[in-house]
Amino acid sequence: MVFASRYPGEIKEMEGYGWKGATEGTFDWKVFLENKNQEITRLNNVYQNFVLKNAGVEVIEATGSLASPNSVSVHTTATGETSLVTAKNILVAVGGWPFKPDIPGIEHAITSNEIFYLEEQPKRIVVVGGGFIALEFASIMDGLGSDVTLMYRGDLFLRGFDGDMRNHLKEEMENNSGIDVKFNTDPKEISKKDDGTLVVVDRDGNELECDAILYATGRKGKIDGLGLDKAGVTTKGTFIPVDDYSQTNVPSVYAVGDITDRIALTPVALMEGHRLSDTLFGGKDRPVDHEYVASTVFTTPEIGTVGYSEEDAAAKFGDIDVYKNRFRAMKHSFPKSETYSLFKIIVDSKTQRVVGCHVATDGAGEMVQGVAIAIKMGATKEDFDNTIGIHPTSAEELVTMRTPSYYYRGGAKTDTLE
């Protein structure tokens, strides 16, 4: 959906490169969903028939619940029969589920689960939330031609991300998208008219009509029906607390992924599972490692990030140097589009180690994945400076920023050093 949503933006810039008569065309939601379903089926077959099967994994289509610290009650869907499976170790990896608040009419709202299966593309959609899922779907639906309103109850979205990146994305959304961003706005009621139109009423009494309302206001652990109490597994809210080896309070029971409420990203869950397998069965001592995890917010523009935000780095290290540059990339400069990129590097001034890199630009995710390797290995600012840039690219900015934009000393910001 991200790829599909970006083609109109590419076409708008074509005339600046000399292409005449190019138009966005008409997006066919049904064709896209059919192709999406085919691709998901293909991927599922790859995992089931090749990856899992070749690894000797027995797959049982059933629901399971813990019966004891070393047994799982298995209810087979096809036959309706229940059996008991015993094991030395049990791993819980059931993931999370979108959370929807208890307000009148919430049954009319959808989540990121259901939007993939809507029969018709909503012409008008309200997205509620301020995390990366909310922003990604707001960008996607805007790119696909829907009228999008983003409602967030706070002052600025992407809480926990670097402040400059948050503000930059806000500016880009306001200047270069059709998204109507409404901060300090929270729905209190949803109603449905006879013609199917939804009416969202916020806490100030303002009404907004739409065809769909998508809630992306967080996720909760999917622990219902797991029988964790029967095995004596401790929970915290809807999540399962674990140690650095993904072990619960019960020595034979482990948990990885979103159900543990650590970092809710698919590659992180893969890392946790891989390290657990290495520890239990590979003869290695491999605790999880959640420092310097790279991630991307697939908005337009993308935000790629690895390491500490400016705010967190100042709090942790005290003394940091911040390198930053905002510019118009060549791709957008040529057709004179008012689209800007923001590059930022954060350095621990005592060791000169690069402890944070944040990029807002086209293809930021692809770019930062490579940078993340260097940062994870402990690269210093001098290592970055000694690396020859690739010209002409936006990415060369990462190795050509020589002078700090400002500093922090003792956790306090200063523009100059005496």
Residues annotated catalytic, as ranges: 391
Token duo for residue 378: 């402990």
Answer whether 228's CB lies under 8 Å from 65's CB: no
Tokens representing residue 373 in the block: 């390797």
User: H-helix or E-strand containing 6?
Assistant: helix 2-12
Query: Could you tell me which residues come within 8 angstroms of residue 148 by beta carbon, excluding any fewer than 6 positions away?
Result: 125, 126, 127, 138, 141, 142, 178, 179, 180
Backbone angles phi, psi at 221, to 5 degrees: -70, 140
Q: Where are the beta strands (DSSP E) in 328-410?
A: 341-348, 354-361, 406-409
Q: If you search the block for the tokens 């083609």, which residue do you land on?
A: 7
Residues 6+ apart with CB under 8 A from 233: 66, 92, 240, 248, 249, 250, 253
Residue type, 409: R
